[in-house]
Every structure is written in structure tokens, then in C-alpha cells.
A and B are shown apart, each in its own frame.
Chain A
Amino acid sequence: MGGGSALIAIDRIFLHERTGAAALNSMASANRAVVDPTRVFAVMDHIVDTRPGRGDKTMMPGGDTFITETRAACHAAGITLFDVNDPDQGITHVISPELGIVLPGCTLVAPDSHTCTQGAFGALAWGIGSSEAEHAMATGTLRVAKPKTMRVTFSGKLTARVTAKDMILHLLADYGAGGGKGYVVEFAGEAITALDMEARMTLCNMATELAAFSGIIAPDAATLDYLKGRRYVPDPLPDWGDLRSDDGALFDCEINIDASAIEPMVSWGTSPSHSISLLGTVPDNADVKALAYMGLTTGQRLADLAIDVAFIGSCTNSRISDLRRAATLVKSKKVAEGVLALVIPGSSSVKRAAEAEGLDKIFTDAGFEWRESGCSLCFFAGGESFPPGSRVISSTNRNFEGRQGPGIRTHIASPEVVAASAIAGKITVP
């Protein structure tokens, strides 16, 4: 294309109700058709209600318009839609892998910044804006300037109770919210290959918090095992060849991290890079605005800080393995008095699987709410939020000012930390 950019074929496109209707309606009004609707998917996840017995009505004022207009636009364009009460409904980045829509070596885009989650399968998956979504649907391509490459090698082994969430928060704390700006970040090394697919997704999910173009992990036997037999995965599995960086490949930037030195992490401020070890204290050079918003002071310990809400959900940490690990920590225990605790499964199929194992019962017996799948309280859509001023320990990915509602103070951490904190009523090492 000249100017350093190339036209890239886009293999898979995913839409959601937050922006799906806007993109499809804008295309329709420009008389542009979706070039291959069989490779475009849509799901209701961002605004959809997560309370039992849900329909199109949501707590967000006017939210039903987004749902009904997206539904109509998807039907008109012939796009496969996982609707509100479809058994396959769920958060985009949870259901796309579940259904085998993302495949190694493919390109996948969605108008959502956490699309990088799906790089865990060795796909080039990245978030785009609405105009680019229209471009991808109308032409089957995107104009992309070749991103720079970075490799982050996690050598050694994680210690017990340290998770993929802690790995990425550790990286963010060290390299900052712009630390991967514009790079495709390959995560590699012994501690990465040792992760199961769901943990790899948690890690890649937050590549966008580094301002990366995307995150990616080379597919291996674990990847193929996960994908085999899923609905959109070819059977038999094709020969995907050797999809990995060449030995001796040169990266624009290389980072090495000793996995054995990573500790359970928690965020103190209003950027995911404002994170520290759970045993540490708020740094002396902490951003003043962030501290004021969070109601903290430098040198303060986060462990033992009282919480109002414990939230397990989001495309980062709401898959079945996340729920299993959290459940073991709340089994036969009770949520602390005065703490609101919720679990929002990442997909309707995760919810069914959890119920089949009795995880829902473990959570509800402990005093957690157990809901339908969706993005839910991961972000504030204008309707449901936590009680004003709440301090929330959350398994989500963003702790921006107001992210979970006006004035809400979000601390992000692994689902284990959230579960243990719910029981203790304060931020706790699991």
C-alpha cells in the first residue's frame, strides 16, 4: 500500500452489541455489503443484563436499543449471532475460543481492545475501532502498518499461588502502561509453555494494557488439544506447520523475566501498571491523582485493606478453571459480613459446566451471587454499578477512574485473591 502499511486478509471478525449496530448501520447507509458474512460473528455481551430471567431490557438506560438494533442489523447482513439467550452466548473472548472460531495462524479482529486475548492460540488477534470494523467487513482486509516485535521470556517456574494474572500485572508494574506500545508481544519461555490455555488467555488478555498491538503465544500440543472437536475447528486438524518464531529470530525488543520471583499482585491505583506485590506497600513516587481517587497514601500496605465488594468475572478471569480455583478457596466458608460478592461466568457454557460440577452451589452457599454470563460489572455502561464509593477487589483488567461506576475504587487481582478477600472482608493473600 506504500507508506509502510500492507493490506492484510482478515479471517474472522467478531462484533458485539455495544458497537455492532453502529458499524453495520453505517455500512448499510453507505450501501456497502458484508463481503463474507459466514466469517463474521456477533454476540450480546457488553450491555446485556446478567440477572436471572433476562431479556432485551437491561439496567442501562436505552440499553435495549443496542440489543434490538444489533440483532436486526446482524439478521439483515446474514451474520451468525449468539443472541441473549443462545446457549453459546458469552463474552466475545471467552466464546470465540470455546467454539473454535479463533484458530492458529488466522487473523481475527473485533471492535474491542481485549481481542488480544485470542493471541493465546497463535492467532494474530487485535482490537480495532468501528470504522476499521466496517473496512474489514466491506473488504475482507485491513490496512496495517507492520507492527514492531517484542518477546517477553518468562524463564523458570512460577511459585505456588502465582497465576497468569500475576505475571501480566508484574510485567505492567515493571514496564508501564505504555511499555509495549505498538508491539506484537510474543510471550515465551518455560513458564509460558507450562500454562494451560485458559491461563494463556488471561495473560494475552492484558497485552492491551501495555498499549501493545497484540499479544501472541506459539501454538503447541496444549493448543491443539484444546481446539480439537470444537464446533468451528476443522476435523481432522489441519497441518498448521510449525507456527513459532524461528530460532535466532531477531525482535525489536526483548525482555526477560524470572518467573520464580513473581509474587501474587494487586493494583493500588488507576492504571493496571499501578500494581504491586500483595505483600508490598504503595510506592513513594505514586501518582498523586491516582492516590487521591483511590483514597490511599504512599507507604500504605494493601493487604488487610477493607473491601466492600468482591467481583469475579470478565474476559480476563471468568473461565471454568478460574471458577474452580476460586471455589476451592470459598468452599464451606462465608463471605465476610457487609461484603457484596458476585460471580459472573464468562460464558453460558462456562456457567453450565460450573453448575454441573456444583461450583454454583459452593459460591451461593458462601454468600456469593451467581449470575448469567456477560461483561456485566467489568465496566459501567450507565446502569448497574456497585454502591457509591465502593472499594472493589476485582478479577477484571482495568482499574481506571470510574471504570466500574462513578467513584468506584477498583483493585485488580487474580480470582484467588478476590475469593480469599471476599471471605476475609479485606485484601488477602490466598
Chain B
Amino acid sequence: MKPFTMLTSIVAPLPRDNVDTDAIIPSREMTSTSKTGLADGLFAPWRYINSAARTPNPNFVLNQPEYHGAQILASGANFGCGSSREHAVWALAEYGISCVIAESFAPIFYNNCIRNGIAPIALPRTVIGTLAGGAATVDLAAQTVNEHAFDIEAEAKMMLLEGLDAIDLTLKHRDATAAWQARDRAARPWIYLEKHP
């Protein structure tokens, strides 16, 4: 995974609350079992006047010339709510969005961002209002967007900064988890199953 350290970009404003994953990538745009080929479907319900014909909606922020190539998206509260589909994050990443600044995030979406190298940054609504539409520099190590400080959980920060794969990190604890499981098997035998008949 590509590390996320520093990013400077124009901030595309999407000033709505509860942007759900059906809007980020509608189910009908997820037409294969792969993690790619999703960028065209990103925000399809808003981005196109006619999704099938891909007629761009000139009023949608990412279709406006000043926001071409924007890598930062700014939105409202509870961003990424709804379905757990990781395709929402894959679509954002493939399109070129590396950072979402929002007042708050839905928990599953937030974790999906971390697993895919997108920085989810929570800031107050008033701060987002001042950033939207301008250029911003995100410095993850310093935990700042321009002059505004933000909070991020230490492990999430480390995984983003180093581009670490969580599975490899966890597998380093394989001996400890195996030992735990041996004890657990004695304590909670009903958890462990034989092959389905």
C-alpha cells in the first residue's frame, strides 16, 4: 500500500451530511468481483445526468474544471454511512481522492479508508467551510491541515504513514495468538467446529 505522508491539493467541496456508500458507488456500478474498474462509477448518481450514457452533470463538483485532479474531498457529517461496501473506498482511491475531510465518518467506511491508504480526517464544520474550495496541505505526521490540527488514532496514523498491510503486521503475533487459542479451546470448546457434515 502506498504510504500517505504529505498531500497538497485543491479541496473539492461536497457540502452534504450523510453521504452514503450507495451514492459514492451505487451497487449497479460494481459489476465485477475485482477491486478495480470502479472510478467511472464514483458518485454516479450525482456526477452524471444519465448514468448509462455517462452524460456529465455540469453542476457536480468533480465535473467543474477548477476541481479537476482534486485529491481532497470535503464533506459533512457521517460521511460513508450505509452499506459496508469497500468499493466506495476503492472507487475514491482509483479516481484519485487520497484524503476525505469530513465532520465525522461512518465507522466501517473509516476503517476501510485506513486499509486502503486514504486519510479520513475529521474536522469541525466551520473549519471545513474555510478549507473547501481552496488549496490545502495535509501533513499526517504533524496532524495538520494547513494551520488546523486534527486527531487520529495512533495505529491508523502509523499504518497510513508507513503504508503497512495490517495482515502482515498481525501475523507477526502468530505465536501469541496460537497460544491464546489453545487456552480458549479449553475454556470455550463450543466455539470450535468440525467440518460441516
Interface residues of A (CB under 8 A from B): 1-5, 7, 9, 11, 18-19, 21-22, 25-26, 30, 32, 38-39, 60-62, 65-66, 69-70, 78, 80, 103, 105-106, 111-113, 127-132, 134-135, 138-141, 143, 145, 177-178, 181-182, 211, 213, 232, 234, 238, 271, 289, 379-382, 398, 400-403, 406
Q: Distance (Å) between the CB of A89 and the closest chain B CB? A: 14
* Contact status A400-B82, CB under 8 Å: yes
Given known A-B contacts A7-B173, A32-B167, A129-B89, A398 and B32 have beta carbons under 8 A apart: no
Q: Report the bound CA distance from A22 to B90 in whole Å.
A: 12
Extra contacts, 4 of them, besides A9-B180, A111-B86, A182-B107 (Cβ < 8 A), are A21-B33, A129-B115, A130-B86, A398-B82
Chain A residues positioned under 8 Å from B28 (CB to CB):
60, 380-382
Chain B residues positioned under 8 Å from A178 (CB to CB):
18, 77-78, 81, 104
* Contact status A131-B112, CB under 8 Å: yes
Q: B35 contacts the other chain (Cβ, under 8 Å)?
A: yes
Chain A proximity mask over B75-87: 1 for CB below 8 Å, otherwise 0: 0011001111110
* Number of A-B residue pairs with CB-CB distance less than 8 Å in the complex they form: 166
Interface residues of B (CB under 8 A from A): 16, 18, 20, 22-23, 26-35, 45, 51, 77-78, 81-86, 89, 104, 106-108, 111-112, 115-116, 153-158, 166-167, 170-171, 173-174, 177, 180-181, 184, 188-196
* Contact status B167-A134, CB under 8 Å: yes
Return the contact of A3 from the options B32, B107, B153, B170 (Cβ within 8 A): B153
Given known A-B contacts A5-B155, A21-B33, A135 and B193 have beta carbons under 8 A apart: no
* Contact status B167-A135, CB under 8 Å: yes
Q: Report the bound CA distance from A113 to B76 in whole Å.
A: 21
Chain A residues positioned under 8 Å from B77 (CB to CB):
178
Chain B residues positioned under 8 Å from A11 (CB to CB):
191
* Contact status B190-A103, CB under 8 Å: yes
* Contact status A132-B18, CB under 8 Å: no
Q: Report the bound CA distance from A175 to B197 in whole Å.
A: 46
Given known A-B contacts A9-B184, A129-B84, A178-B104, A3 and B158 have beta carbons under 8 A apart: yes
* Contact status B33-A66, CB under 8 Å: yes
Given known A-B contacts A7-B170, A211-B106, A141 and B177 have beta carbons under 8 A apart: yes
* Contact status A402-B22, CB under 8 Å: yes
22 A-B pairs in the complex with CB atoms less than 8 angstroms apart: A3-B158, A9-B177, A19-B85, A19-B86, A22-B33, A22-B35, A30-B167, A61-B31, A78-B195, A80-B196, A103-B190, A106-B191, A113-B108, A128-B108, A131-B166, A135-B167, A141-B170, A211-B107, A234-B189, A271-B18, A380-B27, A381-B28
* Contact status B35-A26, CB under 8 Å: yes
Q: Report the bound CA distance from A139 to B29 in whole Å.
A: 31
Chain A residues positioned under 8 Å from B104 (CB to CB):
178, 181
Q: Report the bound CA distance from A274 to B196 in whole Å.
A: 43
Instruction: Identify whether the interface residues of A are mostly helix, strand, loop, or mixed.
Output: loop
Q: Report the bound CA distance from A403 to B45 in whole Å.
A: 11
Given known A-B contacts A135-B166, A380-B26, A113 and B31 have beta carbons under 8 A apart: no
Q: Which residue of A lies closest to B34 (CB)?
A: A22
Q: Which 6 A-B pairs have the closest CB atoms?
A: A382-B28, A3-B154, A3-B155, A131-B115, A129-B86, A129-B112
* Contact status B155-A4, CB under 8 Å: yes
* Contact status B191-A138, CB under 8 Å: no
* Contact status A113-B83, CB under 8 Å: yes
Chain A residues positioned under 8 Å from B173 (CB to CB):
7
Q: Report the bound CA distance from A143 to B85 in whole Å.
A: 19
Return the contact of B84 from the options A112, A213, A271, A400 (Cβ within 8 A): A112
Q: Report the bound CA distance from A25 to B35 in whole Å.
A: 11
Chain A residues positioned under 8 Å from B108 (CB to CB):
113, 127-129
Chain B residues positioned under 8 Å from A105 (CB to CB):
188
Chain B residues positioned under 8 Å from A21 (CB to CB):
33
Q: Report the bound CA distance from A379 to B85 in whole Å.
A: 13
Q: Report the bound CA distance from A280 to B81 in whole Å.
A: 27
Chain A residues positioned under 8 Å from B193 (CB to CB):
38-39, 232
Given known A-B contacts A22-B33, A38-B195, A113 and B45 have beta carbons under 8 A apart: no
* Contact status A113-B153, CB under 8 Å: no
* Contact status B155-A2, CB under 8 Å: yes
* Contact status B177-A38, CB under 8 Å: no
Q: Report the bound CA distance from A145 to B20 in whole Å.
A: 23
* Contact status A381-B155, CB under 8 Å: no
Chain A CB count within 10 A is highest, among B30, B108, B153, B181, for B108
Q: Distance (Å) between the CB of A232 and the closest chain B CB? A: 7
* Contact status B82-A138, CB under 8 Å: no
* Contact status A402-B86, CB under 8 Å: no
